[in-house]
Amino acid sequence: MNKEITLRLSGDIEKCVPAGTPFFEVVKMLGQSKDTVGVLVNGLEKDLSAMAEEDAKLELLTVDSPEGLEIYRHTSAHVMAQAVKEIFPSTKITIGPVIKDGFYYDYDFERPFTPEDLVLIEKKMKEIIKRRLPISRIELTKEEAIALFKKRDEPYKVELIEDGLTEPITAYQQGDFIDLCRGPHLPSTGKLKAIKLLSTGGAYWRGDEKNKMLQRIYGTSFSSHLALDAHLKKLEEIKKRDHRRLGKDLDLFSTSDQIGAGLILWHPKGAIMRKVIEDFWRDEHLKADYDFVATPHMAKRELWEQSGHLSFYKENMYEGIDVDGIPYQIKPMNCPFHIMIYKSKLRSYRDLPLRWSELGTVYRYERSGALHGLMRVRGFTQDDAHIFCCPDQIEPEILKVLDFTTHVLGTFGFKDYEIYLSTRPEKYVGSLDRWQQATAALESALKQKGIAYEIDPGEGVFYGPKIDMKIKDSLGRSWQCTTIQVDFNLPERFGMTYRGDDGKAHQPIMIHRALLGSIERFFGVLIEHYAGAFPTWLAPVQTKVIPITEHHQEYANLLQKKLRDVGIRSEVDHRNEKMGLKIREAQLQKIPYMLIVGDKEIAEQSVSVRQRSGVNTTVPLDLCITQIKEEIALKRAV
């Protein structure tokens, strides 16, 4: 008889079972078999079919937990791959990971998958689920795994095994389908409830453009149809808010193949919004005791060699150009230029801190497949700043930046954040002591402010740790914007000094800081956050004056002039069209105020106001202008 072992659960619950008992039996004993999809044994994820072998801390994973949902969706990806193989037997399978809100699988198939294919594949998946196929784990030696997948004519699996998988190599089988996987998985395909295939796309094998283009299918799955329906409704809302579509509909920006991918053309309406954002940014920086600098778009290659960018960031930099026999590089960063300004004269401790800001345009290489509207581009403007300070000024400066950040982002309507402290990566420069000192300064500032944060291990930049702030939009999605980085490395590399109160030379500390991240990306986030219906202070056109007939155009022009004279952005719709059409088109353009004028308004020197929200009022002309001015000045979010 097997010896008894003790499994410790949360709440000081203990369960004694014979060694070798499958965890699904343990779950049954605990009355939790309905919702449990896997277990954590001393922190390690395991299948329910695995055996309890020794005393351990046990945690049950339900489909509602992050780990449980990942198991659920990983099984969904395997079911999708099985369905594709059953419908299109010549397909070669590659990889199928879980991603945020779903999963995907890449296939080597002779043509792109069509919407009709997705319907067939989803139907087949539901058939496989109804078969309730048991899912079993297989452990193999490397030799056995290679032989197995060669026999099954799956060359991509063989490549993965040969390229470094260590024994034991694990695979999972359901019916005739077998796939490489670390697991864990659901015990049966029948445990899946609600699935949906979403879209198709292309992807290079292993993300390398030199490799073959594969066909990708995206899908999602949930433990209930109610949860799936809610997710699909959210996806529809995301689709309606897509900044690329709204950017075109609202005539804000575009791209051109003749100019090049990832390079943005700002149309008049987008450009005026950009001006408003940048003017606010500049005004607030002046209030916060920053000075402005401006720097060129390229520099000698030796600058980037000294900064370390050519060693640590070369894959993101464009090839240099030759100027009079001297190699130059287009800038991916602004920081070395600010250092050169610092070094243009002797500095004293009395000068510090120096806070220098710049809306600096930089250029970084992004793979074609990664480019996405305004969110991932190749040329963008950073709202950059660098603070040069003494060591004892680090924490006070970080505290000021945190306050400044919440004020600026809050004005744009973002109040919820996710905060991460990103620590030393594998490739880094500088001493461990310096890294520990910088990390401690950032962490201390967060604690002093009482800000909740998570550690993001290894995600610091090569020259220092950082705080990353992700804003949450109106749909609850997170977007990376603010970053605060402490840097001991660049001041040392460039021999930066200041004269201390002891008369000796000391090395300053450099704090890299961006609030919005980049104007392009932040603009894209704003579009989707507000679904194009911007607050009045940001809207490219704040008022649309609509004369009822051509006889009212003179009064409309007078009204527009008065609005523009006080800084309110206004247009007049002079077209000989019906009123209903004019109003409807102004609403589609998401203009905050439609000001309608006719005989009555001329006689009373008033205006009929139709707000974007649908509220209608008639007010004296001067009062209307005053109220709109006040709303703009307050910068109220929608």
- Clarify whether 225 is annotated catalytic: no
Residue 486, amino acid = V
Residue 516, amino acid = L
* Cα–Cα dist 427/353, whole Å: 29
Our CA dihedral for 298, 299, 304, 309, rounded to 10 degrees, sits at -10
The residue annotated as part of the active site, out of 196, 347, 378, 386, is: 386
- Clarify whether 605 is annotated catalytic: no
The residue annotated as part of the active site, out of 117, 383, 384, 473, is: 384
* Cα–Cα dist 534/516, whole Å: 17
Do β-strands 478-487 and 509-514 pair in parallel, antiparallel, or remain unpaired? antiparallel
The residue annotated as part of the active site, out of 241, 466, 506, 612, is: 466
Helix H or strand E encompassing 25: helix 23-29
Written as one string, the DSSP assignment of 55-112 is -EEEEEEETTSHHHHHHHHHHHHHHHHHHHHHHSTTPEE----EETTEEEEEEE-SS-
Cβ burial of 308 (10 Å; 0-12, 13-18, 19+) is: middle
- Clarify whether 466 is annotated catalytic: yes
The residue annotated as part of the active site, out of 285, 512, 544, 552, is: 512
* Cα–Cα dist 23/273, whole Å: 59
* Cα–Cα dist 417/452, whole Å: 10
The residue annotated as part of the active site, out of 82, 174, 329, 382, is: 382
The residue annotated as part of the active site, out of 335, 389, 481, 624, is: 335
* Cα–Cα dist 583/307, whole Å: 56
CA distances from 429 to 59, 326, 474, 489 (A): 40, 27, 39, 7
* Cα–Cα dist 622/563, whole Å: 10
CA distances from 215 to 91, 108, 114, 150 (A): 10, 6, 10, 21
Q: Which residues contact 112 (CB under 8 A, 6 or more apart)?
A: 200, 202, 215
Q: Which residues contact 436 (CB under 8 A, 6 or more apart)?
A: none
Our CA dihedral for 204, 314, 398, 505, rounded to 10 degrees, sits at 170
The residue annotated as part of the active site, out of 73, 231, 364, 529, is: 364
In 3-state terms, what secondary structure has residue 273?
Answer: helix
Please answer whether residues 538 and 276 qualify as being in contact, where contact means their C-beta atoms are separated by less than 8 angstroms: yes
51 pairs with which residues across the strands?
22
Return the axis-axis angle of helices 432-448 and 394-411, rounded to nearest 10°.
Answer: 50
* Cα–Cα dist 419/404, whole Å: 15
Please answer whether residues 388 and 422 qualify as being in contact, where contact means their C-beta atoms are separated by less than 8 angstroms: no
Q: Which residues contact 52 (CB under 8 A, 6 or more apart)?
A: 5, 7, 17, 19, 20, 21, 22, 23, 26, 41, 58
Which residues does the annotation mark as catalytic?
335, 364, 382, 384, 386, 466, 512
